[in-house]
Amino acid sequence: MSQDYDWTEQVVALKPPTLIVTGDSDALPPTHAVEFFTLLGGGLQDAGWNGENLISSQLAILPGTTHYNIVFRPDLLLPVLTPFLAKKQTPNQ
């Protein structure tokens, strides 16, 4: 399995709001997750006092987790998933 994780083309092609969730101790370095989030438009500017510049996609890097055990940490995962899924979403700009 390649450790390259160059999914740039696939990430850029995403149109629906996307929640990127990764563990801080996973094979995918957190820096890659941040790069993916940036490709979706995240982190390019301050969100503004009232959140007027927030994008629809979000990034969550959960502490002490990997893709093996992240599903066993509902205390970390649900507070991220629930509001994202409940929010009325608009396509990424």
* Gap between the terminal Cα atoms of the chain: 33
Q: What is the tens place of the pLDDT at every residue in 56-84? A: 999 999 999 998 999 999 999 999 999 99
Q: What is the tens place of the pLDDT at every residue in 10-38? A: 999 999 999 999 999 998 889 999 999 99
66 close to 23: Cβ distance less than 8 angstroms: yes
Q: Residue 2's pLDDT is what?
A: 56
